[in-house]
A and B are shown apart, each in its own frame.
Chain A
Amino acid sequence: MKTYAYFPGCSLEKMAHSYHLSALETTRALGVELRELEDWNCCGATAYFHVDELLAYTLSARNIAMAEKEHLNLVAPCSGCFKNLFFTRSHLKHDPDLAEHINVALAEDNLQFTGSATVQHLIEVFVQDVGLAEIKARVTNPLQGLRVAPYYGCQILRPRKDHEDVEQPRFFEDLVAACGAVPVSYPLRLTCCGGALIITNRVAALSLVRNLLESAVRERATVIVTACPLCQVNLECYQKQVNREFGTDLNVPVMYFTQLVGLALGIPPKRLGIGSELVAVMPAIADAQKTEPAPVGT
């Protein structure tokens, strides 16, 4: 069994608890163990960079150093946390002066950053480490005919981590297809959901959410699938406010990719935290699978 150090992040404690549950359930089913870091702290979100970047690096470095102590690579399910952890590691690795400075602080908690642990987003564990072929082979409940709009959001892709394609990625569509569902192509799959603007500039964020939802609905998506708790909350929990603000009539379920994979693996919805969403997922899926003919050849 492959084991990772797991950094859930603050959102997964409560607001996105279903992401946490489904992450643990599906990885277990795929032969992967996520071992939660024992005393992890908040990654700092974007707020820390607005005040002091060195402070932001210190917060993330503490989490990375705890993974190093366990001799495990680190995995984060939240795109924001992932971005902070990933770039903290790469900045510290490339700037020994910075690493030395941060290590003075980490010593107060008996920790040290060396750069030995890698940082990945949870979806990379599914797509790259476990692999799509392996997932496909384990699917017992193919989600035939279900039209799924994969939503990449921002920070899985951007800023660019290496030389990967940030304009035409395919991995999320491929993951949806591996679950037996139909990936829906829609123009705004890489466009921002507004992130923390939902707090700092409500109308701007609601307008971004509206554009996104309409873009997916126009391509007849039954469900949107995300890989980030902030995206999920913006796209799902603020739909009513979008409707009130713009006079729209949107009602699209938004689920985590781990829930989609979990359903395809035959895990009962309840164990995947399904039922805690504001726009119900299961009735929409049942409806869609009733009305949509299965694609030819599957």
Chain B
Amino acid sequence: MSEAKRLLMIDDDPDFVAGIKAILVKAKYEVDVAYNPKDGLQALKSKNYDLLLLDVMMGRGAEGIMIARKLGKDPKLRDLPVLIITGIREQMAFLFPGQAVHPHFVPVDELVEKPVEPKLLLEKVEALLKTAETRKAQSP
């Protein structure tokens, strides 16, 4: 049996985190949590993760986008798969009613919107981990 995959979740909503973490732990993933962007970046620097689950609206604003951009520029973290889980459409509904999150402006691998179906979440996580592994195996 291979070692359990290690995931990091950066999200400021403790209730949401508790729910998602329970689902992932039950599926035998090892899950660390950071409740703010600063602790999140610190965790990414100090430990190796196989996948990042990232919220968007945190702290001062849409800081998740800021983290995603930063990772994209970091040679050590560039290949870390990122799954955005966001409620931004609801949180900003007064500003952009009914408008979609535009992929052109979000530099990540996958995006799902809150609330998340447990089955869909596990599928996305598994698929992203598999893609990352294949990519790793191909690179020298």
Contact = CB atoms under 8 A, between A and B. Distances in A.
Interface of A: 51-55, 97-98, 100-101, 104
A55 B61 contact: yes
Contact of A54 (B60, B70, B92): B60
A52 B66 contact: no
Contacts of A97: 66, 70
Interface of B: 57, 60-63, 65-66, 69-70, 92, 95
B61 A98 contact: no
A53 B57 CA distance: 11
B86 to A, nearest CB: 14
Contacts of B60: 52-54
B61 A101 contact: no
Contacts of A53: 60-61
Contacts of B92: 51
A51 B63 contact: no
B3 to A, nearest CB: 32
A128 B61 CA distance: 36
Contact of A52 (B62, B69, B70): B62
B122 to A, nearest CB: 31
B95 A54 contact: no
Given A53-B61, A55-B62, A98-B66, 10 more contacts: A51-B61, A51-B95, A52-B57, A52-B60, A54-B62, A54-B63, A100-B69, A101-B69, A101-B70, A104-B69
A55 B57 CA distance: 12
Contacts of A98: 66
A18 B95 CA distance: 34
B42 to A, nearest CB: 13
What are the 5 closest A-B residue pairs judged by CB atoms, nearest first?
A52-B61, A53-B60, A54-B61, A101-B66, A53-B61
A97 B73 CA distance: 11
26 contacts: A51-B61, A51-B92, A51-B95, A52-B57, A52-B60, A52-B61, A52-B62, A53-B60, A53-B61, A54-B60, A54-B61, A54-B62, A54-B63, A54-B66, A55-B61, A55-B62, A97-B66, A97-B70, A98-B66, A100-B69, A100-B70, A101-B65, A101-B66, A101-B69, A101-B70, A104-B69
Nearest to B37: A97
Contacts of B62: 52, 54-55
Contacts of B66: 54, 97-98, 101
A51 B66 CA distance: 17
A52 B69 CA distance: 18
Nearest to A101: B66
A43 B136 CA distance: 46
Contacts of A55: 61-62
A98 B63 CA distance: 9
B102 to A, nearest CB: 13
Contacts of A52: 57, 60-62
